[in-house]
């Protein structure tokens, strides 16, 4: 067996090479997070060895016993793992320099002179390579020490680092809010480099660490007393969660006022996707049906709203009036759109929902793709304008008060999100919701218990579809014109991604997922190209490492965790060459 | 039916097709179907063994095409491709196979193996994520623009086989595909490894009790899928003379449909399904839709594939050569 530090360090180095080839280092040397030293590129270079250090310092399992490492041992192992990661990357750099970067660039377009200069710290290649190894070893060391440090230190430090990086990333957002509140901003964000100033970074880190420290110190007591205020017999949610929810809701309401119209535009898109996520969550999270063609309902909602409210065709050479055209008010059209979507959900679902999970996924994917092909095909030009689409969509005005403006649109969308979230929350707690849970967990047993699974599947499909069509209708209002380019299969995958990231079955999770997956890339324009790479990585990472998502649904996470723990025990036993315990009994023991 | 009758009743001046045009459609469909069949085998083998749809297999195919492109391009520039096309294409194909196998095996190791015992939908969702990730990683490596794939001069033009004019590339595609499938059939049915694969496909646990290294068999399965995808990638690139990071998606879906149509898990089924889908894509739209006066029927051919997928899964989920009824749960 290869030495442990090689097994950890070398893959980490390969990850760094991957990041460099994809362009996440060379293209971001001047996107500064802190001062003019810590750029995004630097972060990308430090992160893999840091993680290698974290992993290398993890406790060793020997004969079923966890051997915690002591600090010196952990530090050395972690530093070596970091250095190994650095050495792997440095080797690649030396090799690239030897071959000549312009020759590599003919294949890998991101091996730019800028990248080569950055990764060698602007020095001669050999000196630069040694520097890379040294920096990586240091990063690994820090990771290792952090891993074995006592929790009272580890937690505040982790929170401080994450908060500082988050503030660095939000360099387009927080300064605008400070301006709106007419607060001084130059001490926090450098006017020259856009990122945090060092003073600002230290203040943010200190405040975050302080809050984290206080909350672990006094949090338990505080939580206890808040719980007492709530009293017994109250709602099923704990008061702490209620408080957190209230704060989050407050932030969502004031956000556009603080952040101006450019960011409100992004937030509007986030809300549209949150709405789609809430709809898909009913199908995937509650009922456990994997629907990969959700874009079907999104397109249906957008185009049927356009047709019902009298939008015109964009195509040349034909009359602008579509073959079917209404002249309804937005608020009259919306219920009709939702009924159409629910009905087509039933129609499409009825033959399809008998199928087993993965087949269902592919059939829905096929349906979604058919919609994409059809709306863009020359055949349907007289109805939906084909490739050139439609324009002149209503702005959902109430008595002359239109909602096209980003800030106003945000509130319109937020209202619908609130409505859908409330509906979905009550549904989950109802008899229907319980039937979905039962069906998701064990279809045959649910069937045996007298739940008509086909009926409840159809119901989930129809309700999810109706909410999805609402998302499509709002999207149409937001952009005012429609083209088939907006209705690609990637929409389905994006919505699925945010539901999974947030945690299947969790409504706050959907909002968080939308903010992270749609909001963050929207705010950082430079990352536009990399958003889908991040999506893919996030979906895989969540599924492998944390299947319950970032903000898990309580019951769901219990199910997944138990299963996972049982599997872990099983895998560990196998690894150690023992007889694996029966998975079923392990699950029983932890429930 | 009505569509077909009306199309055939059309005169050439009204937009109908000549006999020669139909013949071309059929040859083109068969060649494309052969490529689909080879990709479909990758889906089918993995499904047979893991009961999992490797959604990212289209990207394994794309990776092979990209890997081979840079070699093909270099050889075209140095003149080697035209001087010694057999040798050059052999090297190019070897590279494509290498890249595809590497991608497939890595995918299995990093994304699927940790989820071996997870609930069924979890690996599928992971595969979707992996597919998106791979596509965009290649976009990051090589940029979003399509690259023109060089074709050796020997393969330009067409020759007449049994009185039917066939493009040389299409002939190559058909011959190579048939050879590959025959070799695969031989491999799975007679070698020891092939027997282990069949054993694992039937019952993983019992197979491991019989002393079969299940993990190794799974890796080999992904590798074989990669080999076929790599060869298919070169054939596909020679046919369409273009590579791009999105090129894996549509052929991937078509191939998956082919695998399901033929009966997923069966080698003969995947081959049959591939040819049927290829023919359907090439002949179906003009035959069934032109008669209704629908403009530019070929833009609808992907919709056609999806329609077939939906219909097969709904009415005969076991596929043409399958057991008729797929398991329900």
* Lowest mean per-residue pLDDT among A55-59, A92-96, A585-589: A585-589
Q: A97 Cβ partners below 8 Å, 6+ apart?
A: A116, A120, A125
CA distance A391 to A382: 14
C-alpha distance from A549 to closest chain B C-alpha (Å) = 12
- Please report, in angstroms and rounded to a whole number, the separation of the first and last CA atoms in chain A: 36
Q: Rounded to the nearest 5 degrees, what angle is found at the Cα of A184, between the Cα atoms of A179 and A187?
A: 120
On whether residue A235 sits in a domain, the answer given is no
- The 8-class DSSP code of residue A282 comes to I
C-alpha distance from B175 to closest chain A C-alpha (Å) = 31
CB contact under 8 A, A535 and B132: yes
Q: Which range scores top for mean pLDDT: A180-189, A190-199, B185-194?
A: B185-194
Q: Do residues A257 and A201 both lie within one domain?
A: no
pLDDT category, A112, cuts 50, 70, 90? Answer: confident
- What fold, for B2-315? ABC transporter involved in vitamin B12 uptake, BtuC (1.10.3470)
Confidence at residue A297, expressed as pLDDT on a 0 to 100 scale: 92
**A367: chain B residues, CB-CB within 8 Å:** 306, 310
Share of chain A above pLDDT 90, in %: 11
CA-CA-CA-CA torsion sign (A533, A538, A543, A549): negative
On whether residue A317 sits in a domain, the answer given is yes
Q: Do residues A159 and A192 both lie within one domain?
A: yes
Q: Touching check for B125 and chain A: CB below 8 Å?
A: yes
**B294: chain A residues, CB-CB within 8 Å:** 379
Residues within 8 A of B (CB atoms), A 549-588 only: 563, 567, 570, 583
Q: Do residues A540 and A577 both lie within one domain?
A: no
CB contact under 8 A, B122 and A547: yes
Residue A62: count other Cβ atoms within 10 Å of its Cβ: 9
Confidence at residue A554, expressed as pLDDT on a 0 to 100 scale: 61
Task: Please tell me which residue of chain A has the smallest CA distance to B329.
Answer: A356
CB A80 within 8 A of CB A41: no
Mean pLDDT across A180-196: 78
Q: What is the pLDDT of residues A501-551, one digit of tens each?
A: 888 888 888 988 888 888 887 777 777 788 888 888 888 888 888 777 777
C-alpha distance from A560 to closest chain B C-alpha (Å) = 9
CA distance B296 to A256: 46
Q: Do residues A430 and A307 both lie within one domain?
A: yes
Q: Touching check for B311 and chain A: CB below 8 Å?
A: no
CB B222 within 8 A of CB B46: yes
CA distance A220 to A226: 10
On whether residue A66 sits in a domain, the answer given is yes
Q: Touching check for A331 and chain B: CB below 8 Å?
A: no
Three-class SS of residue B147? strand
CB contact under 8 A, B296 and A539: no
CB A295 within 8 A of CB A487: yes
pLDDT category, A584, cuts 50, 70, 90? Answer: very low
Q: Touching check for B52 and chain A: CB below 8 Å?
A: yes
CB A275 within 8 A of CB A420: yes
What's the pTM value of the predicted model, to 2 decimals?
0.84
Burial class (CB in 10 A: 0-12, 13-18, 19+), A14: middle
Q: Do residues A529 and A562 both lie within one domain?
A: no
Q: Do residues A539 and A591 both lie within one domain?
A: no
E strands present in A56-111 = 60-62, 65-67
Q: A214 Cβ partners below 8 Å, 6+ apart?
A: none
3-state secondary structure B229-298: HHHHHHHHHHHHCEECCCCCHHHHHHHHHHHHHHCCCCHHHHHHHHHHHHHHHHHHHHHHHHHHCCCCHH
Q: A188 Cβ partners below 8 Å, 6+ apart?
A: A167, A174, A175, A178, A196, A197, A199, A200, A203, A204
CB contact under 8 A, A358 and B52: yes
Share of chain A above pLDDT 70, in %: 87
CB contact under 8 A, A530 and B140: yes
Confidence at residue A581, expressed as pLDDT on a 0 to 100 scale: 47
Count how many domains chain A has. 3
CA distance A131 to A136: 8
Confidence at residue B324, expressed as pLDDT on a 0 to 100 scale: 43
Measuring CA to CA, which residue among A372, A370, A331, A378 is closest to residue A352? A370
Confidence at residue B60, expressed as pLDDT on a 0 to 100 scale: 92
Task: Please tell me which residue of chain A has the smallest CA distance to B47.
Answer: A358
Confidence at residue B328, expressed as pLDDT on a 0 to 100 scale: 36
Q: Domain boundaries in chain B? A: 2-315
Domain around A295 = 250-545
Residues within 8 A of B (CB atoms), A 102-161 only: 107-110
CB contact under 8 A, B136 and A547: no
Q: Do residues A222 and A301 both lie within one domain?
A: no
Asked if the model's pLDDT at residue A324 lies above 70, the reply is yes
Q: Do residues A439 and A421 both lie within one domain?
A: yes
On whether residue A74 sits in a domain, the answer given is yes
Q: Touching check for B328 and chain A: CB below 8 Å?
A: yes
**CA-derived radius of gyration, chain B:** 20
Where do runs of H (alpha helix) occur along A281-384?
295-308, 330-352, 357-376, 381-384
Three-class SS of residue A547? coil
Measuring CA to CA, which residue among A75, A85, A43 is closest to residue A142? A75
Q: Do residues A150 and A99 both lie within one domain?
A: yes
Q: Which residue has the tokens 């390579």?
A: A129
Q: B216 Cβ partners below 8 Å, 6+ apart?
A: none
Q: Do residues A313 and A202 both lie within one domain?
A: no
Q: Do residues A190 and A165 both lie within one domain?
A: yes
* Lowest mean per-residue pLDDT among A15-19, A221-225, A474-478: A221-225
- The 8-class DSSP code of residue A312 comes to E
Q: Please provide residue A481's backbone torsions phi and psi, each rounded to the nearest 5 degrees.
A: -150, 155
On whether residue A233 sits in a domain, the answer given is no
Q: What is the pLDDT of residues A237-273, one digit of tens each?
A: 566 677 877 888 888 887 777 777 778 888 888 999 9
Residue A331: count other Cβ atoms within 10 Å of its Cβ: 11
CB contact under 8 A, B129 and A356: no
CA A194 to chain centre: 25
Q: Do residues A336 and A390 both lie within one domain?
A: yes
Report the DSSP pairing between strands A38-39 and A60-62.
Answer: unpaired
Tens of pLDDT along chain B (329 residues)? 555 656 665 655 555 667 677 777 788 888 888 888 888 888 888 888 888 888 889 899 999 898 888 888 888 888 787 778 888 888 889 999 999 999 999 999 888 888 887 777 788 888 888 999 999 999 888 888 888 888 877 777 777 777 777 778 888 888 888 898 889 888 888 888 888 888 888 888 888 888 888 888 899 999 998 999 999 999 888 888 888 888 888 888 888 888 888 877 778 888 888 888 888 888 777 666 665 656 566 667 777 777 777 777 777 777 776 654 444 33
How far is the CA of A19 from the CAs of A41, A47, A137, B141, in angstroms?
9, 11, 19, 10
Mean pLDDT across A129-149: 88
């Amino acid at each position: 067996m290869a030495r442990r530090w090689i097994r950890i360090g070398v893959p980490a180095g390969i990850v760094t090479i991957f990041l460099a080839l994809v362009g996440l280092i060379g293209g971001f040397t001047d996107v500064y997070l802190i001062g003019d030293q810590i750029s995004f590129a630097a972060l990308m270079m430090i992160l893999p060895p840091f993680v290698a250090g974290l992993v290398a310092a993890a406790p060793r399992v020997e004969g079923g016993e966890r051997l915690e490492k002591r600090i010196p041992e952990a530090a050395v192992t972690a530093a070596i793992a970091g250095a190994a990661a650095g050495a792997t990357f440095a080797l690649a750099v030396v090799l690239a320099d030897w071959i000549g970067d312009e020759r590599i660039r003919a294949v890998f377009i991101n091996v730019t002179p800028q990248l080569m200069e950055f990764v060698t710290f602007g020095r001669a290649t050999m000196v630069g390579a040694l520097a890379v190894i040294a920096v990586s070893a240091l990063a690994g060391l820090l990771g290792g020490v952090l891993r074995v440090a006592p929790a009272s230190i580890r937690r505040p430090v982790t929170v401080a680092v994450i908060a500082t990086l988050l503030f660095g990333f939000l360099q387009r957002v927080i300064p605008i809010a400070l301006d709106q509140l007419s607060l001084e901003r130059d001490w926090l964000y450098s006017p020259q480099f856009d990122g945090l100033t060092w003073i600002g970074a230290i203040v943010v880190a200190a405040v975050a660490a302080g809050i984290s420290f206080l909350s672990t110190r006094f949090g338990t007591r505080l939580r206890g007393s808040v719980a007492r205020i709530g009293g017994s017999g109250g709602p099923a949610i704990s008061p702490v969660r209620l408080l957190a929810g209230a704060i989050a809701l407050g932030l969502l309401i004031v956000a556009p006022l603080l952040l101006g119209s450019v960011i409100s535009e992004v937030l509007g898109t986030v809300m549209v996707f949150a709405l789609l996520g809430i709809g898909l969550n009913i199908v995937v999270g509650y009922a456990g049906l994997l629907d990969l063609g959700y874009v079907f309902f999104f397109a249906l909602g957008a185009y049927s709203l356009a047709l019902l409210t009298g939008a015109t065709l964009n195509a040349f050479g034909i009359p602008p009036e579509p073959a079917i055209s209404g002249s309804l008010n937005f608020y009259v059209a919306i219920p009709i759109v939702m009924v159409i979507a629910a009905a087509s959900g039933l129609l499409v679902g009825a033959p399809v929902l008998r199928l087993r999970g993965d087949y269902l996924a592919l059939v829905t994917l096929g349906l979604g793709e058919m919609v994409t092909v059809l709306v863009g095909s020359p055949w349907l030009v007289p109805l939906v304008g084909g490739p050139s689409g439609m324009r002149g969509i209503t702005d959902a005005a109430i008595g002359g008060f239109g909602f096209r403006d980003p800030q106003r649109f945000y509130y319109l969308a937020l209202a619908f999100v609130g409505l859908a979230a409330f509906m979905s929350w009550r549904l989950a707690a109802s008899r229907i919701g319980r039937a979905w849970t039962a069906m998701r967990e064990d279809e045959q047993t649910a069937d045996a218990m007298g739940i008509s699974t086909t009926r409840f599947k159809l119901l989930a499909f129809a309700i999810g579809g109706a909410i999805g069509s609402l998302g499509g209708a709002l999207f149409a209002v937001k952009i005012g014109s429609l083209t088939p380019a907006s209705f690609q299969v990637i929409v389905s995958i994006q919505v699925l991604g945010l539901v999974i990231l947030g945690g299947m079955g969790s409504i706050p999770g959907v909002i968080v997922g939308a903010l992270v997956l749609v909001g963050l890339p929207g705010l950082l324009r430079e990352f536009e190209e990399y958003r889908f790479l991040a999506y893919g990585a996030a979906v895989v990472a969540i599924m492998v490492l944390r299947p319950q998502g970032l903000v898990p649904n309580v019951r769901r996470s219990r199910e997944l965790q138990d299963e996972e723990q049982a599997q872990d025990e099983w895998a560990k036993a196998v690894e150690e060459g023992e007889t694996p315990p029966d998975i079923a009994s392990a699950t029983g023991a932890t429930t | 039916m009505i569509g077909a009758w009306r199309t055939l009743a059309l005169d050439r001046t009204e937009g109908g097709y000549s006999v020669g045009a139909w013949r071309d459609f059929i040859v083109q469909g068969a060649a494309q179907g052969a490529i689909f069949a080879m990709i479909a085998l990758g889906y089918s083998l993995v499904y047979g063994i893991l009961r999992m749809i490797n959604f990212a297999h289209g990207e394994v195919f794309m990776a092979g095409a990209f890997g081979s492109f840079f070699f093909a391009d270099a050889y075209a520039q140095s003149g080697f491709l035209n001087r010694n096309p057999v040798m050059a294409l052999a090297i190019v194909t070897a590279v494509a196979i290498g890249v595809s196998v590497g991608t497939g095996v890595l995918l299995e190791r990093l994304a699927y193996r940790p989820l071996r015992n997870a609930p069924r939908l979890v690996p599928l969702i992971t595969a979707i994520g992996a597919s998106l990730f791979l596509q965009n990683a290649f976009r990051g490596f090589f940029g979003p623009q399509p690259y023109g794939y060089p074709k050796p001069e020997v393969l330009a033009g067409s020759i007449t086989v049994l009185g039917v004019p066939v493009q040389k590339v299409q002939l190559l595609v058909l011959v190579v595909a048939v050879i590959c499938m025959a070799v695969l059939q031989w491999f799975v049915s007679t070698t020891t490894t092939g027997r282990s694969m069949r054993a694992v496909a039937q019952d993983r646990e019992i197979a491991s009790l019989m002393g079969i290294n299940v993990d190794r068999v799974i890796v080999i399965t992904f590798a074989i899928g990669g080999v076929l995808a790599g060869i298919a990638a070169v054939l596909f690139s020679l046919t369409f003379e273009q590579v791009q990071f999105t090129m894996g998606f549509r052929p991937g879906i078509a191939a998956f449909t082919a695998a399901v149509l033929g009966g997923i898990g069966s080698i003969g089924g995947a081959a049959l399904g591939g040819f049927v889908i290829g023919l359907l894509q090439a002949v179906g739209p003009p035959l069934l839709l032109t008669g209704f006066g629908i403009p530019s029927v070929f833009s609808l051919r992907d919709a056609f594939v999806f329609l077939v997928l939906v219909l097969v899964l709904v009415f005969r989920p076991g596929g043409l050569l399958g057991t008729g009824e797929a398991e329900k749960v």
